[in-house]
Amino acid sequence: MSKPKPVPRPAPESAPYWEAAKQHKFEIPHCNACGHYWFPPSASCPQCLSTDFAFTPVSGKGKVYSFVTFHRVYHPAFEQEVPYVVALVELEEGPRLLTNIVGVPVEQVTCEMPVKVVFDDVGDGVSVPKFTPA
């Protein structure tokens, strides 16, 4: 018997991100005042503090900025997952986000590796954006 994985619990600021992901769309906040893209979502643009922004579709492409391979089971639900990669992916649009690299043996993951978004439907209507080699 494996335990269910914890699923994201959207905050008000990140709810649009998770709603888009549910439909396999990758959208991040984009400032209408200064053009800045950012992640994680927040109530105002971290560059100019404007609250005039919209969740905007982005390329879903980026590169591995940094990563770590987990070999130890820190949560029983991940027992079948080890080893797995947790990475900081730098999007083409600039922001970096914490995610998993999937669809490739962990020993083949490298910094600067080009990656693209994929969606992992984890149940309960939740889909988690992850990244795979482009």
Binding to Zn ion in span 91-130, by CB under 5 A: none
Q: Is 33 in the site for Zn ion (CB under 5 A)?
A: yes
- Residue from 20, 31, 58, 89 touching Zn ion (CB under 5 A): that is 31
Q: Which two tokens stand for residue 130?
A: 């992850």
- Phi and psi of 102, rounded to 5°? -130, 165
Amino acid, single-letter form, for residue 42: S
Q: Which two tokens stand for residue 129?
A: 């954006």
Q: How far apart are CA 73 and CA 112, in angstroms?
A: 27
Nearer to Zn ion, 51 or 108 (CB): 51
- Residue from 42, 47, 51, 66 touching Zn ion (CB under 5 A): that is 47
What residues make contact with Zn ion under the rule CB under 5 A? 31, 33-34, 36, 45, 47-48, 50
